[in-house]
């Protein structure tokens, strides 16, 4: 009798059940899914975590987890996987972590932005309990308090967008096109180095609907997590220029870096199906950035714009997206229990609110959180 490996048994059962799971896209270089820790573990604030699985990396960890469910056909949910993963012996978990750790994790947590806006209110009112007082007034029916809270939510959403990876990429691109590298000139002289378009933001809170919507912060944070996965490679290209680039390109360095950033915006990325509007906003942001980066290279810009940057896939039809779902669930559970530092210790690449973070960055964030 021939015994199939647990991996083959799993896929054999799926095929016999007339459900065939494929990668979902032959062109995409990465596959993404989003998760959120339970909000009661994150101060009742929705945190969004995008897990990005690159096609070139091993899925050994994914197959090992699937092997624990040989009799379950179809799609497994991350909650089931997280519970099983936590119950595994330490040695087994360590083997899984060897390849799982290479999944890229992108976290957008609105709480630092809320802290910033709350501190502005404390300073304005001269009271440490000003935010609590304002919320109590709103609960009691004060129209002015409710209006102020709505305005504060809009400010939080705007702050999240300004910190997003997409906006950072746009800023670097404009700085590289500017002989003063983004420094402010007096208004009467600003026309010397800047186009009127430079004052136009890449994306606005209004692009997500009514600014008075109570879910505006959640909507923006969810998009920003996707944007971290979509644009981080271009941001890395902007920040990775070194002395060898100066030696190779000399005065053409800025143009070379812009070209490198543009090239990182060409590959296709796949996201779990469910929010077409977010994908459309990613695409419009991508094309706007390409237009700016390649402003002096119109032919290259035209070719770049003709390529689509993002595609939606059903998770049940792509094992890569399912793998991203598992990783988002596992990283979200760690974030809820051990905060940012716990995620950084486990995953090789972690971005937080738009930028890649190290252990030192995570420790700094913990100190900031502890102060308020």
8 Å CB contact between 231 and 169: yes
CA 116 to chain centre: 21
Ranking 11-15, 66-70, 159-163, 357-361 by mean pLDDT, the lowest is 11-15
Q: Which of 189, 188, 148, 194 is nearest to 174 (CA)?
A: 194
- Per-residue pLDDT tens over the stretch 234-255: 999 988 865 555 545 545 678 8
Tally Cβ neighbours within 10 Å of residue 29.
15
Separation in Å, CA 151 to CA 35, 146, 213: 27, 9, 10
The 10s digit of each residue's pLDDT in 263-295 is 999 999 999 999 999 999 999 999 999 988 887
Q: Please report, for the chain, the start and end positions of each structural domain, with discontinuous segments joined by +.
A: 6-111+216-371
Q: pLDDT: is 105 or 254 the higher one?
A: 105
CA dist., res. 32 & res. 361, Å (int): 24
The Cα-based distances of 230 to 46, 73, 200, 216 in angstroms read 21, 31, 21, 21
Query: What pLDDT score does 198 carry?
Result: 55
The pLDDT value given to residue 51: 98
Please report which helix (H) or strand (E) contains residue 56, including its range.
none
- The CA-based diameter of the chain, rounded to the nearest angstrom, is 85
pLDDT tens digits along 176-194: 876 554 555 566 655 554 4
Exposed / middle / buried, residue 369 (Cβ in 10 Å: 0-12, 13-18, 19+): middle
- Phi first, then psi, for residue 106 (nearest 5°) are -120, 115
Partnered with residue 274 across adjacent β-strands are none
Sign of the CA dihedral with 276 first, then 260, 24, and 85 last: negative
pLDDT of 10 > 60? The answer is no
User: Which pLDDT score, from 0 to 100, does residue 242 have?
Assistant: 58
DSSP state of 110: S
User: How much is the pLDDT for 215?
Assistant: 93
Residue 196 pLDDT level (bands cut at 50, 70, 90): very low
Residue 16 has pLDDT above 70, yes or no: no
Digit-coded pLDDT (tens) for 216-232: 999 999 999 999 999 99
Reported in sequence order, the residue ranges of 140-179 that DSSP labels E, i.e. its strands, are none
Indicate the average pLDDT of the chain.
85
pLDDT tens digit sequence for 294-336? 877 766 667 666 778 999 999 888 999 999 999 999 999 999 9
Q: Is 89 left (phi over 0), alpha (psi -120 to 50) or beta?
A: beta
């Amino acid at each position: 009798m021939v015994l199939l490996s647990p991996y083959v048994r799993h896929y054999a059962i799926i095929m016999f059940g007339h459900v065939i799971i494929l990668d979902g896209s032959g062109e995409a270089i990465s596959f993404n899914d989003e998760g959120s820790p339970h909000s009661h573990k994150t101060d009742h604030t929705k945190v969004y975590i995008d897990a990005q699985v690159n096609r070139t990396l091993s899925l050994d960890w994914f197959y090992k987890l699937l092997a624990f469910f040989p009799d379950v056909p179809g799609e497994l949910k991350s909650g089931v996987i997280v519970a099983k993963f936590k119950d595994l012996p330490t040695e087994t978990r360590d083997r899984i972590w060897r390849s799982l750790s290479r999944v890229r994790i992108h976290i957008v947590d609105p709480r630092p932005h809320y802290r910033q806006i709350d501190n502005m209110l404390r300073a304005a009112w001269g009271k440490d309990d000003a935010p609590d007082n304002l919320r109590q007034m709103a609960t009691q029916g004060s129209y002015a308090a409710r209006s102020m809270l709505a305005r504060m939510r809009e400010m939080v959403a705007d702050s999240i967008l300004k910190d997003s990876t997409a906006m950072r990429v746009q800023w670097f691109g404009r700085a590289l096109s500017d002989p003063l590298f983004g420094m402010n000139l007096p208004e009467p002289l600003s026309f010397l180095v800047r186009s009127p378009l430079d004052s136009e933001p890449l994306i606005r809170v209004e692009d997500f609907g009514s600014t008075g919507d109570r879910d505006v912060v959640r909507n923006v944070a969810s998009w920003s997590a996707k944007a971290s996965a979509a644009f981080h490679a271009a941001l890395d290209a902007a920040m990775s220029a070194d002395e060898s680039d100066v030696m190779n390109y000399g005065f053409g360095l800025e143009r070379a870096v812009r070209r490198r950033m543009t090239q990182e915006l060409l590959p296709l990325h796949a996201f779990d199906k469910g929010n077409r509007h977010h994908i459309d906003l990613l695409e419009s942001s991508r094309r706007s950035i390409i237009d700016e980066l390649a402003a002096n290279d119109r032919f290259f810009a035209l070719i770049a714009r003709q390529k689509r940057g993002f595609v939606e896939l059903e998770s049940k039809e792509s094992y890569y997206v399912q793998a991203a779902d598992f990783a988002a669930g596992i990283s979200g559970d760690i974030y809820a229990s051990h905060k940012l530092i716990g995620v950084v210790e486990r995953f090789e690449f972690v971005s937080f609110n738009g930028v890649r973070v190290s252990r030192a960055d995570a420790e700094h964030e913990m100190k900031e959180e502890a102060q308020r």
